[in-house]
Amino acid sequence: MKRKTISVLLVALSIIYSFATPVFADQEDVVSLGADLSPKQQEEMFEHFGVKRDEVKVIEVTNQEEREYLKGLVSDQKIGTRAISSAYVTSLPDGEGIMVDTHNITWVSKEMYANAMVTAGIEDAKVIAAAPFKVSGTAALTGIMKAFEEASGENLSDDAKKTANEELVLTGDLGEEVGQEEAAELIKKVKEEVVLKKPKEEKDIANIIKDIAKQLNIELTDEQIAQIVELMKKISELNLNVETITKQLDKIGANVEGIKKTVEENKGILNKILEAITNFFSWVQSFFK
């Protein structure tokens, strides 16, 4: 009788274990919180991301970390003295590309984030950059990169991360002059051409910029062209290719609601597991009675 009971218990437990294991093995969601958020603001972020604290890995980003990449690129006013911006990042299967959504981010568009993320070496990820109130968004990229490293287990190059921040800031500055969408499209296309053609001379890079600006009906000053040239010189030294850039940005316009749908599906599975465990122990209790 004892052997039979033990056998039944082992079989039941193995069934529950096999049901539960895949869910936790695939759990790669990471939330990066600004270190200066109040407890209430933190909960606002979790609510906006559609997840609970115990369902994801939570990390913090400090103002010092933000300044490490932004100092010298933007004014102290834009960086601020507190770390507020937060991010939700989940890894995707190979080839899925990058999806971005934003909340309370005013100066940086989702296209700008996606462009900079590719430059940083981020691939196949869904991201929400958010804050509890309106912020410029320049500091959010630091949290996104840190969260991606946690989610994927990959370390991004420091040079790539610094260049990505420079790209984000330059595109934001251009966006104030020519429009956010136009600036993001210009930098994306110029980057693709530079990575593809690998021009060695500054004048050749400048000609690429002028040609694409003309195609997009964008007027640039000599100073702006010079700034983009300097950025592209750094980008050309990174391990990027046109195919990767194109594939990663292909779905940037897609609706990020897919993130929340996936989260809800996982929560449903977890609830079924908990229900199965509860029913199992109820059965064990009645069995011994």
pLDDT tens string 231-270: 999 999 998 989 989 889 887 754 444 444 544 554 555 5
Average pLDDT, the chain: 84
Give the predicted TM-score (pTM) of the model. Answer: 0.77
The string of pLDDT tens digits covering residues 167-183 is 999 999 999 999 999 99
Angle between helices 140-152 and 63-70 (to 10 degrees): 100
Q: How confident is the model at residue 33 (pLDDT cuts 50, 70, 90)?
A: very high
Q: How confident is the model at residue 104 (pLDDT cuts 50, 70, 90)?
A: very high
Pairwise CA distance, residues 44 & 37, whole Å: 10
In this predicted structure, what is the pLDDT of residue 262?
Answer: 47
Q: Within 13 Å and on the Cβ side, how many CA atoms surround 57?
A: 18
Nearest to 102 by CA among 167, 28, 166, 168: 168
Other beta carbons within 10 Å of 208: 22
In this predicted structure, what is the pLDDT of residue 23?
Answer: 36
Pairwise CA distance, residues 245 & 123, whole Å: 9
In this predicted structure, what is the pLDDT of residue 125?
Answer: 95
* Residue 115 clears pLDDT 70, i.e. is over it: yes
In this predicted structure, what is the pLDDT of residue 26?
Answer: 46
Task: Give domain limits for the chain.
Answer: 2-279
Higher pLDDT, 16 or 195: 195
Segment 126-138 mean pLDDT:
94
* Residue 145 clears pLDDT 70, i.e. is over it: yes
DSSP string, 93-138: -TT--EEEEEEEE-SS-HHHHHHHHHHHT--SEEEEEEEEEEE--T
Residue 53 makes CB contacts below 8 A (sequence gap 6+) with: 31, 46
